[in-house]
A and B are shown apart, each in its own frame.
Chain A
């Protein structure tokens, strides 16, 4: 279990102090695939570097399995880092070593014998699906392949925690999907805890079970992915869930009510909701915005409807949606 308690980090620049992280409190359970999402500049990378003390927090603690990381000596810390490995946006492989030697690298650092290290490295390259690239150099590989080698390298020392710092941000969607599948597969097989730092909603949806939303150095929302994404409470979360916002929509006409409908689970997607609303209640609705995604195995969607009519019509529409267990609806007003 990883507990982050009252963690703050500030940087001194020549003329002022920049508060990168402010009073972060998070608990990450063993076996979680935990997402930390935020826009660029939200200091996500600083947060993940505080977990393995690549960045020393200004205040607060990081406690991993009951051990305060900040209180360790340099030597102890180096040993612990073998249990909390990391993959990066730019892969960061050693360019002058071939893939096999790259995977051997952490084992060499730990003092393993060369023959044993190479045997283990070969097994790992097989796990990530690149045994034939053992003798190839990183420059000869594609981005996705380099990240696979980096994953093999990160797994070499049998870590308990894998930190992924924007690990798929430099990859195209298809490769991103393949890398995420690999991470999930490894998670399921080895039972390691995975912490994923990203700015991509799709990454969190695809793989994470819990998520924290970081905005301007603070955690503004935290919880299961289902809960946070279906009913985002904070502005930052709403921005992430519907990235285009509702800015592009025309202003509401007089007498038009706007209702946000959020649905989770297959019950909602199997029913012809809009036509049923028209047939059963006699309310016609126009769809102003809609999106669906599948999170884990669940379908999840959000829809913005425009309904013309009086307050009674609106109330009936809301009541209609409320009948369904996995649908929630609320009226959207003003500039929201």
Chain B
């Protein structure tokens, strides 16, 4: 056993583990959370608009506008993330000042994720019982009040579940952003494992990514269940 631990590969791996993994994990979590927040910031209003803006809904917008929004969302969602990262370089440079690095990777991540989030929000809001919306209208609620006080609060459990899906997906994307110099576990997996054939390091990085997904998913599911007041027997 001690012989095994003394082998150069293991020694090196342990060194990398000690020196780089903690920071890399932090970077991954930080980029994922920030990008998810931005994606929700953009995706939530967009998703609301997709539902509330429909013809017979609470805040109708012109059909053409709705159609254009749908096309943009579909378009952004169909571009592979790897390509998207490169395409948005100019925008990233404009916002962050540079196109490479950990902070810079937040921009393509947000752009890739917000249309996805908008679709998730759309599906959550469609679950809201239309009769409840009608009841709010009968009490004199304005369109904005219906959105803020009825549609969103009533779909909170579903929104949380969907945001959990979003955060785990974005976590997967961050691993890819290692290619443009984004930091994190993905970078370690690519740099050591792919470029320098240190497979043990790569496997460890992947295991950590899996653990992170598990943690996010567990927290999300717990939160969604706890916040759902429709579940009687708690």
Binding site for B on A (CB under 8 A): 52, 54, 77-82, 85-86, 88, 90, 92-98, 105-106, 108-110, 137-140, 153, 157, 163
Contact = CB atoms under 8 A, between A and B. Distances in A.
A137 B229 contact: yes
Main secondary structure on chain B at its contact with chain A?
Answer: helix
Interface stretch (B110-118, B134-142, B183-191): B134-142
Given A109-B141, A140-B232, A92 B135 contact: yes
B218 interface: no
Interface in B129-183: 129, 131-132, 134-142, 145, 149-150, 153-154, 156-157
A108 B131 contact: no
Interface in B218-234: 227-232
Nearest to A77: B140
A94 B140 contact: no
Given A95-B229, A97-B153, A109-B149, A78 B132 contact: no
B108 to A, nearest CB: 35
A109 B145 CA distance: 7
A97 B228 CA distance: 10
A137 B226 CA distance: 13
20 contacts: A81-B139, A81-B140, A82-B139, A86-B135, A86-B139, A88-B135, A92-B134, A92-B135, A93-B132, A93-B135, A94-B132, A94-B150, A96-B229, A96-B230, A97-B153, A105-B139, A108-B149, A109-B136, A137-B229, A139-B231
Most buried by A among B129, B131, B137, B139: B139
Most buried by A among B132, B142, B153, B227: B132
Contacts of A82: 139-140
Contacts of A105: 136, 139, 149
Contacts of B231: 139
Contact of B139 (A77, A90, A106, A137): A106
Contacts of A90: 131
Interface of B: 129, 131-132, 134-142, 145, 149-150, 153-154, 156-157, 227-232
B156 to A, nearest CB: 6
Contacts of B156: 96
Contact of B134 (A54, A140, A157): A54
A95 B138 contact: no
A163 B137 CA distance: 14
B152 to A, nearest CB: 10
B144 to A, nearest CB: 11
A280 B129 CA distance: 65
A335 B137 CA distance: 48
B178 to A, nearest CB: 40
A110 B135 contact: no
B131 A78 contact: no
A92 B132 contact: yes
Given A94-B153, A105-B149, A137-B229, 9 more contacts: A78-B141, A82-B139, A88-B134, A94-B154, A97-B153, A105-B136, A110-B140, A139-B229, A140-B232
A80 B139 CA distance: 9
Nearest to A141: B232
Contact of B140 (A96, A109, A140): A109
A259 B230 CA distance: 56
B137 A54 contact: yes
Nearest to A82: B140
Most buried by A among B137, B227, B228, B232: B137
Contact of A98 (B157, B227, B229): B229
A172 B229 CA distance: 25
A250 B24 CA distance: 89
A157 B149 CA distance: 18
A139 B140 contact: no
B223 to A, nearest CB: 14
Nearest to A107: B139
B149 A88 contact: no
Contact of A92 (B131, B141, B145, B153): B131
A12 to B, nearest CB: 13
Contacts of B137: 54, 81
A95 B149 contact: no
Most buried by A among B149, B227, B229, B230: B229
Given A82-B140, A109-B141, A139 B230 contact: yes
A76 to B, nearest CB: 10
A101 to B, nearest CB: 10
A108 B136 CA distance: 11
A78 B131 CA distance: 17
A92 B35 CA distance: 37
Contacts of A95: 129, 132, 154, 229-230
Contact of A54 (B129, B132, B138, B229): B138
Given A97-B153, A140-B232, A92 B129 contact: yes
A86 B137 CA distance: 10
Most buried by A among B135, B136, B145, B229: B135
A78 B140 contact: yes
A77 B138 CA distance: 10
Contacts of A88: 131, 134-135
B154 A78 contact: no
A137 B157 CA distance: 15
